Amino acid sequence: MSQTEPTVSREHFERLVLEAQRRAPLDVAQILLEENDETVGAVLRELHHAPAYRILLRFPKERRKNIVPLAGEDVGDPWAEAQKYADDSVGRLMEPVVARVGPEDTVASVVEDIREWVHETLITYVYVVDDSGHLLGVLVMRDLLLADPEQKLGEVMLTEPFYLKPDSSVGDAMKEVVYRHYPVYPVCDDEGRLVGIVQGYMLFEHQHFKISAQAGQMVGVRKEEHATTQWPRSFRMRHPWLQINLVTAFVAAFVVSLFEETIAQVVVLAAFLPVLAGQSGNTGCQSLAVTIRGLTLGEFTPGIFRKVIVKETLLGILNGAVVGVVAAIAMVVYAMYSGAAQPVVLGVVVFLAMTGACVASGMTGVLVPLTLQRLGADPATASSIFLTTATDVVSMGLFLWLANMLVL
């Protein structure tokens, strides 16, 4: 890997190195963001590879690629290893293991090692491995402090420790660690060999970012976009979904056009089209939000799908009936005030359409994200766009069809 000298004054460079040694990785990254790539790479080379790697992970993705070749092999090699894994995997957040010892080592010897290691990086746990690198146990500082100095580590360690796998998604890992709040987790391959560690806060921050991005993804905003993203890039990321939304809106418009004669003869129907569409859309969004949350938290275990569908159907009937009564009364009053024929029948049409639309939208709110997941897509990706289309078509189509059947 190529290495270049920093392009700043020696005094400024030394101050940056000192800040990097004293501060948390996120704070260091914020400071170094203002520096050029050559300076950042030179600062990272001055640090131990473990904290340097944590700082590197805090940089934006595009900037990180430019810094890696300048940061030295101790940082670049672990980064290259992490690139073998998927973007949303534990392996991408993994860092090298510093505190690695054998079961025959003594407590006294590992304490001396820790005294050296802590000058370079934070040591939370010590990992005991065999000659092949298989994880045998974990040592916590309290046990080392209370143990006899001559004891073997195999006698002091916690056996059968919990670990993550590098190819697991962060979402799956979060389901496993949600009740295991450790500051650091060992990462082992399928054969149980220790290949790295991952900081607990990195997992939680990554998942927090993913969850916070779901609201945007539901309406076609990609998770890579931030408030500070340049407008040309935001345009490129947002606009394709707006074109898709336009096409789906035409579908709803086409359904309404099929009932032009019905609307022409009973003009009051047009006033209640937004009411049906809005109410069923909100019902569907409630169902969609609960479904996506359930998928994120791993609540959709085998056999749960039928229960969720039954639940949303019942909620659709209850909610649709209650708001349908209010909407029906409003339609009767409005029809009588407007002089429309058969106001009571129009009220019944509104009630039936509202109930049916709420049932359909509740079920759609479950089916859309589950279908996207089955197809291998992110369940949150533009799900609101597809949901809105379905609810508009069903609510307005059912409303106008019932009016055509019962009123005309």
Go through the domains of the chain in sequence order and give each one's CATH number.
10-83 (no CATH), 100-215 (3.10.580.10), 232-406 (1.10.357.20)
* DSSP designation for 193: B
Q: d(Cα 248, Cα 257) in Å, to the nearest integer?
A: 14
The answer to whether the CB of 95 falls within 8 A of the CB of 197 is yes
- Run means of pLDDT, 10 residues per run, the chain, 408 residues: 66 89 86 89 84 84 84 80 84 89 94 88 91 95 92 93 92 83 93 92 72 55 65 81 84 90 89 91 90 81 87 94 95 89 92 95 91 79 80 92 88
Q: How many whole angstroms separate alpha carbon 184 and alpha carbon 207?
A: 16
Q: Closest Cα to residue 157, out of 106, 94, 115?
A: 106
For 155-178, give one letter per residue: b (16+ CB within 10 A) or e: ebbeeebebbbbebebbbbbebbe
Are 312 and 287 in contact by the 8 Å Cβ rule? The answer is yes
- Alpha carbons within 13 angstroms on the beta-carbon side of residue 154 total 7
- Count of residues in the chain: 408
Q: In whole angstroms, what is the distance from residue 382 CA to residue 335 CA?
A: 38
The DSSP secondary-structure symbol of 85 reads S
pLDDT at residue number 207: 66
pLDDT score, position 214 = 55
When computed from its CA atoms, the radius of gyration of the chain, rounded to whole angstroms, is: 30
Compute φ and ψ for 299, nearest 5 degrees: -80, -15
Q: Which of 183, 383, 388 is nearest to 293 (CA)?
A: 383
pLDDT tens digits, one per residue of 266-279: 889 999 999 999 99
Torsion (CA) 260, 265, 269, 270 in degrees, nearest 10: 50
The burial class, CB within 10 Å (0-12 / 13-18 / 19+), for 110 is: buried
Phi-psi sector, 99: left (phi>0), alpha (psi -120 to 50), beta: beta
Residues 36-61: b if buried by 16+ CB within 10 A, e if exposed: bbbbbbbbbbbbebbbbbbbbbbbee
For every residue of 247-275, DSSP letters joined together read HHHHHHHHHHHTTHHHHHH-THHHHHHHH
